[in-house]
Amino acid sequence: MAGNKLQVNQLVQQFHCVEYQEKATTQAFMFRDQQQGKEPTVVAFRGTETFDSDAWFAGVGLSWYELPGVGEVHGGFTRALGLQKNVGWPKNLEKSHVKQPAVAYYAIREMLSNLPEKNDNGKFIVTGHSLGGALAILFPAILAFHQEAWLLK
């Protein structure tokens, strides 16, 4: 099987998104194989860094966040994905004149919403390991909470 290697021809974008606590960061990478032209885009959330105590705290904290219609979700994971202080999960963030770092959920959702224009299939895969795996599960749950059915199709 020497000739069957997947070659990623284009890194679509790397996000380095500031987390709720403004200490740790959430990293996600978006890419797709351009050779086939209609391959799905992959969104890969990075797992917990070994020597990053703030990232470890996001995973071991005991707080929970009530997501209406879904249930209770681990507080550290919701904050790492983009939970907003005092307002929860608004469908859209208010634009600020002050340049702020991208928020993982909102930045990725915006990029994915442009996929049908660039990719006939408009499909995507969400994955991750450790903390990234939790974010990969939570991301489509928040899309469903925001009633983004067209994007989940």
Tokens of 62: 């005991």
- In this prediction, residue 1 carries a pLDDT of 41
What is the domain partition of the chain in residue ranges?
12-152
Query: In a structure prediction context, what are the per-residue pLDDT tens digits for the chain, which is 153 residues long?
Result: 444 454 454 554 556 565 454 555 788 888 877 666 567 888 999 888 776 665 565 556 678 888 888 888 888 888 888 888 888 899 998 776 556 667 889 989 988 887 765 555 668 899 999 889 999 999 999 999 999 988 887
Range 144-151 contact pairs with CB under 8 angstroms and sequence separation of 24 or more: 144/70, 145/67, 145/68, 145/69, 145/70, 145/89, 146/89, 146/91, 148/109, 151/109, 151/112, 151/113
Alpha carbon distance, N-terminus to C-terminus of the chain: 33
CATH topology for 12-152 is: Rossmann fold (3.40.50)
pLDDT at 21: 47
pLDDT at 9: 46
